[in-house]
Amino acid sequence: MTAPSPTPTPATVRLTVAQATVRFLAQQYSERDGHRQRLFAGCLGIFGHGNVAGLGQALLQAEIDEPGALPYVLGRNEQAMVHTAVAYARAKDRLQTWAISTSVGPGATNMVTGAALATINRLPVLLLPADTFATRAAGPLLQELERPDSGDVTVNDAFRPVSRYFDRIWRPEQLPGALLGAMRVLTDPAETGAVTLCFPQDVQAEAFDWPVELFAERTWHIGRPLPEPTALARAVEVIRSARRPLIVAGGGVIYSDATDALDAFASATGVPVGQTQAGKGALPFDHPQSVGAIGSTGTTAANALATEADVVIGIGTRYQDFTTASRTAFADPGVRFVNINVASMDASKNGGVTVHADAREALTALAAALQGWSVDAGYRERTAQLAAEWERTVEAAFHPPTPSAGEGGRLTQNEVIGLVNEVSAPRDVVVCAAGSMPGDLHKMWRVRDRKGYHVEYGFSCMGYEVAGGLGIAMAEPDRDVFVMVGDGSYLMMATELVTAVQEGVKVVVVLVQNHGFASIGALSEQLGSQRFGTRYRRRSPNGRLEGDVLPVDLAANAASLGVDVLCAHDGPSLEAALRKAKASDRATVVHVETDPLVDAPSSESWWDVPVSEVSTLSSTQQARRTYDDWKARQHSYLTPSEPGTGD
């Protein structure tokens, strides 16, 4: 008797487009250096009519049928959800991220700012906005953009310029190619950023017979491109010729996990290291070759060495204007550049020698090729002297001769930063994004761990702080997260405090109340505009915003969102509040008022913000003279290529 044939494995499975998308995302993994993890930690979302019956239903079904495969977290603001996902991705060295589901209309377009932030910072996030009907059966729809000149444009087309990859799934057959294309970009360190896949409402709910292979586990291997030998040789030649070299360490050093390689290279060669906002933490603050932050918000140590540098070695940096002090930082007329970057666009900036490679691999190769070479002893001594001078400056700012040195006995922002720095543990994370604090933190925060500093300064987006802090705490729950936020940013987006309470995530939010926009106020004064429109005041009888301080109680506001709130008024009470918050396992807001008119120590640097060329105001006229003087110092940095290299 012949044995019965085995039942054939079905070649397809019938699911809706939304169900297929959720099942696919749950099977994606990333791997680097032998460490493998899910690419998506979960899906953040807010449901509306455009996604509740599509992706919403699919996420519910997955939660019941496959618990933990793609966990769902309810957010409070669509832009904030993107910030949370981006911060999570940065904390995970771009090896993991979140998907985000929103409805069509304002739910979708609220994410555009977050998409721009992700793309500018080269951080992966998957956006899944709903879209209008593919069939157009019920049009014009609620929230549909009707244009007289085009029938296929929707509000989601606003994502195109701020996404690294964009697609719209008009038909089920298009889904596999779109998903695979999205994964390729999300897992490519050189190409990554926001990925947007738009899902028409009707298509989300449409069923299709999918090949089972679509839902097999896929591992996306994150490579480490090696430096091309001749490019490496050119870089070595230029570095060997340098007498005053300087390294600019950017975010690529952190994401590549190249900090140990940088430590070894800098220690062996004696080349000092300045750090960008994204690169702060590439070396601890007290490393012998660390001269701290560089550029417009840099230290006087790094900026003095930048002025004299004859060779600048940029590693994983995109040379943002704050890094180059609007192209005034590197002042040597013959300065040459060696640019090491996984992204060819960034590696080719400023001319010079291009090394298109992973930061860790390039540093390892350079160290081997330069074995036995070092800067002279005098240059090492100068590096140490300048760094020590700056540390004395920071100590004086953190601990002024008269504590609570602000007007009316208020703390200065410098003192607040110093106390948070001292109370936090070495592995704890400080978070910030906009206002005056990013610059003050960049130049003064004493970073002790490669992940201890998280400031979003590519887009400098007000409102990132609380949402970003949530993402970091979710990514690394064994670290305490200190969110530094001014009243301006807090008022723009404090909503994710509710999500932190919902998820039981601990963050410590240090809410600095200075009754206005401290950063832009100082800039306005510097540019001759007299802090106009930067203070939170009642309208006075003369019609100007220069009356009494507004009676805003942000501590009460925070308490209403479900977090613990502690109030401080001087150094001892702030220290006590910070220690209590650190000891707690709950989300806590520490509220403190500061004097916005006490600045941090000067970087002795510049940032190019144009000043009115003509004005009746003497303050503006003086500011324009200062501006013209700095403009005369700008460089193109288009150095001629090395002879015979073609770079």
Q: Give me the residue label for tokens 């979302």.
A: 45
Region 467-485 average pLDDT:
98
**Predicted confidence band at 5 (pLDDT cuts at 50, 70, 90)?**
low
Strand order in the sheet with 97-102: 72-74, 40-45, 97-102, 125-131, 194-200, 165-168
Is residue 160 classed exposed, middle or buried when 0-12, 13-18 and 19+ CB atoms within 10 A define those classes?
exposed
**Predicted confidence band at 143 (pLDDT cuts at 50, 70, 90)?**
confident
| Candidate from 150-154, 292-296, 332-336, 539-543 with smallest mean pLDDT | 539-543
Q: Is 527 left (phi over 0), alpha (psi -120 to 50) or beta?
A: alpha
| Averaged pLDDT of the chain | 93
pTM given for the model: 0.94
At residue 161, does pLDDT exceed 80?
A: yes
**pLDDT of amino acid 645:** 43
Instruction: List pLDDT tens digits, range 15-35.
Output: 999 999 999 999 999 999 999
Q: How far is CA 502 from CA 43, 220, 302, 558, 561, in A?
A: 15, 32, 43, 15, 10
Q: How far is CA 395 from CA 231, 398, 417, in A?
A: 43, 5, 11
Region 421-444 average pLDDT:
95
**pLDDT of amino acid 475:** 98
Q: Rounded to whole angstroms, how far apart are CA atoms 38 and 58?
A: 19
3-state per-residue secondary structure call for 305-348: HHHHCCEEEEECCCCCCCCCCCCCCCCCCCCEEEEEECCHHHHC
**pLDDT of amino acid 643:** 44
Cβ contacts of residue 356 below 8 Å, gap of 6+? 225, 227, 228, 231, 341, 342, 344, 347
Instruction: List pLDDT tens digits, range 520-529.
Output: 666 666 766 7
Q: How far is CA 224 from CA 97, 189, 221, 366, in A?
A: 20, 9, 10, 15
All domains of the chain in start order, with CATH:
13-221 (3.40.50.970), 229-389 (3.40.50.1220), 399-538+552-595 (3.40.50.970)
At residue 373, does pLDDT exceed 90?
A: yes
**Predicted confidence band at 390 (pLDDT cuts at 50, 70, 90)?**
very high
At residue 641, does pLDDT exceed 80?
A: no
**pLDDT of amino acid 355:** 98
**pLDDT of amino acid 619:** 86
**Predicted confidence band at 518 (pLDDT cuts at 50, 70, 90)?**
low
**Crossing angle (nearest 10°) for helices 17-25 and 55-65:** 50
Q: Rounded to whole angstroms, how far apart are CA atoms 26 and 47?
A: 20
**pLDDT of amino acid 537:** 78
**pLDDT of amino acid 640:** 56
At residue 383, does pLDDT exceed 90?
A: yes
349 token code pair: 């900036």
Instruction: List pLDDT tens digits, range 214-262.
Output: 999 999 999 999 999 999 999 999 999 999 999 999 999 999 999 999 9
Instruction: List pLDDT tens digits, range 176-190.
Output: 999 999 999 999 999
At residue 530, does pLDDT exceed 80?
A: no
339 token code pair: 């640019």
Region 81-97 average pLDDT:
98
Q: How far is CA 418 from CA 319, 517, 575, 577, in A?
A: 28, 21, 10, 14
**pLDDT of amino acid 154:** 95
| Candidate from 28-37, 116-125, 411-420, 602-611 with smallest mean pLDDT | 602-611
User: In the beta sheet, which residues pair with residue 484?
Assistant: 510
At residue 55, does pLDDT exceed 60?
A: yes
Taking the alpha carbons of 431, 433, 434, 438 in that order, is the dihedral positive or negative? Answer: positive
- Cis-peptide, bond into residue 140, ω within 30° of zero: yes
What percentage of the chain exceeds 90 in pLDDT? 81
Single-letter amino acid code for the residue at 180: L
Instruction: List pLDDT tens digits, range 486-511.
Output: 998 999 999 999 999 999 999 999 99
**pLDDT of amino acid 194:** 98
Q: Rounded to whole angstroms, how far apart are CA atoms 467 and 475?
A: 13
List strand residue ranges (DSSP E) for 96-206, in order.
97-102, 125-131, 165-168, 194-200
The answer to whether the beta carbons of residues 410 and 404 sit under 8 Å apart is: yes
